[in-house]
Amino acid sequence: MNGHILLVDDDEKVLEFYSAALSRAGYRSKQCSNLNAMRDAISEHSYDAVFLDLNLGGENGLDGLPYVLKNAPFSKVIVLTSQNSVNKAVECMERGASWYFTKGTDPNEIIAKLKSLLEKPVGAAGTGGSDQSAWRSTLIGESKPILETCSTIEKLKDVDSTVLILGESGTGKEVVARAIHQSSPRAQMRFEAINCAAIPENLLESELFGHKRGSFTDAKQDRKGIFEICSKGTLLLDEIGDMPLMLQTKLLRVLQERQIMPVGASTSIPVETRVIAATHRDMTDEVKSGRFREDLYYRLNVVVVNIPALRHRKEDIGLLVSYFLKKFNQRFSKTVKEPSRATLSRLQSYDWPGNIRELQNAVERGVVLAINDELDISHMFSHLNISRHGENSSDEGQHTFENNPAFDMPLTDAKQAFEKAYITRLLKLSHGNIAELSRKSGRYRADLYRMLERYHIQIDEFRNKS
């Protein structure tokens, strides 16, 4: 079974060595030489495993481990180390890495271990799919909206229809896509996710359909596309609403004919890939505006799964907080207690514009900053300068939840005012670094550039101040 591996090492020869070994074993790989490049790569793609070197020149690879564990929870982390750094590698495993090996280890041994780490659990006998408990445990909540989502997934378990997942950013669209895959007869096969908004148009076609050697300047060898790699498996096309029109035409042809044409190829390749598409956009508006092909929309719109925003399932906040508390207590070796009734009430009174992603980040902050193992609301919302009792901890004109002037605005205006202030503040903190802005906000770069344009924010002004 093919897989997608991210290699992080500052030694070009080491990268070439492992890339060649992985290629011979049928794996795709992407190479990075520093932690910033690693973060960008993880924000744009899903990887089955990350090979992380502990010594990245002037950087400590250990500093990148928390980011991988947080932003690529399904990826196995394999630490690369020299013979005299084994103690650090063991520390990485205690913090969540899956395995380590010293440089110079036989590539065959590495590939064998990698295969064992990436093996999927066997599904229920006779069905080819997974037990419901396996995928249901990934969808936290018992509210009516989440139960309806689970009911839809259950109905899809024996069919192979194309699915369109709709929901705001941060609601867990990829989690739902993986649940659909895990509940299906394809559960033991390949699952891959690709972000259509994060990859330049000239590279996206090659990522999807592959290319032949010599088809363009950097095409030094044949490369399989994700459709071919996921044949018989499932492919999530995330942020499908941002796919360029030219590629929409080619995608429609693939869905109709079940064949792909790699860049530079003269013959097509049959594929049996199941497609799940996801977007936070209103697709009917995208079709009306001409930004999205109507025929492709109807081809994708076979079964629709609507993911509820967190503000519409606030009764699940307690379960989600408990889930994230357990996760971060284990990761950081903490024993932070469940929130008090007053704290939980405060959390349920907030609308969570960033949805589950924002809640997860808030719980992580609360665990990291906790004093006496108490989950404190002021720590969870420290990025918004909200104090323990709701008062502003700065005098820059921000207010409590109760007396904020935004409550006197129409809802749309209030959201826009907050969004502009939020983006501006993060730009100041990141000195105009768009990759850092994307990481901190949990939004894709394409979304951020649209916000900057909408609010007439000049990113260069923040870069000049650095």
Q: What is the pLDDT of residue 132?
A: 52
Query: What does 309-339 look like in DSSP terms, one character per residue?
Result: PGGG-GGGHHHHHHHHHHHHHHHHT--PPPP
CA distances from 70 to 53, 65, 75 (A): 18, 9, 10
- Where is 284: in which H helix or E strand? helix 283-288
Q: What pLDDT digit, counting tens, does each position of 102-143 carry?
A: 877 888 888 888 887 776 433 333 334 444 556 777 888 888
In this structure, are strands 191-195 and 210-211 parallel, antiparallel, or unpaired?
unpaired
Q: Which parts of the chain have pLDDT scores under 50?
A: 1, 120-131, 386-403, 466
> How far, in whole angstroms, is CA 141 from its chain's centroid?
20
Closest CA to 141 of 351, 310, 26, 350: 310
Residue 411, pLDDT score: 63
Half-sphere exposure (Cβ direction) of 289: Cα atoms closer than 13 Å:
11
Closest CA to 275 of 260, 288, 262, 293: 260
Predicted pLDDT of residue 133: 55
CA 347 – CA 342 distance, rounded (Å): 9
Look at residue 316 in the predicted model and tell me its pLDDT.
93
Q: How many residues does this entry show for the chain? A: 466
Q: How many Cα atoms sit within 13 Å of 15 on the Cβ side?
A: 15
Compute CA distances 33 → 13, 61, 179, whole Å: 11, 11, 33
C-alpha distances (whole Å) from 136 to each of 125, 190, 222, 233 are 18, 19, 39, 20
Give the end-to-end CA distance of the chain in Å, rounded to a whole number. Answer: 46
Contact by Cβ (8 Å): 55, 71:
no
d(CA 328, CA 363): 8
Are residues 405 and 387 in contact, defined by beta-carbon separation less than 8 angstroms?
A: no
Tokens, residue 374: 């108490």
Q: What tokens does 438 get? A: 């994307």
Q: Residue 410's pLDDT is what?
A: 58
Residue 258 is predicted with a pLDDT of: 92
> Residue 5 carries which DSSP code?
E
Residue 396: its pLDDT value, please? 39
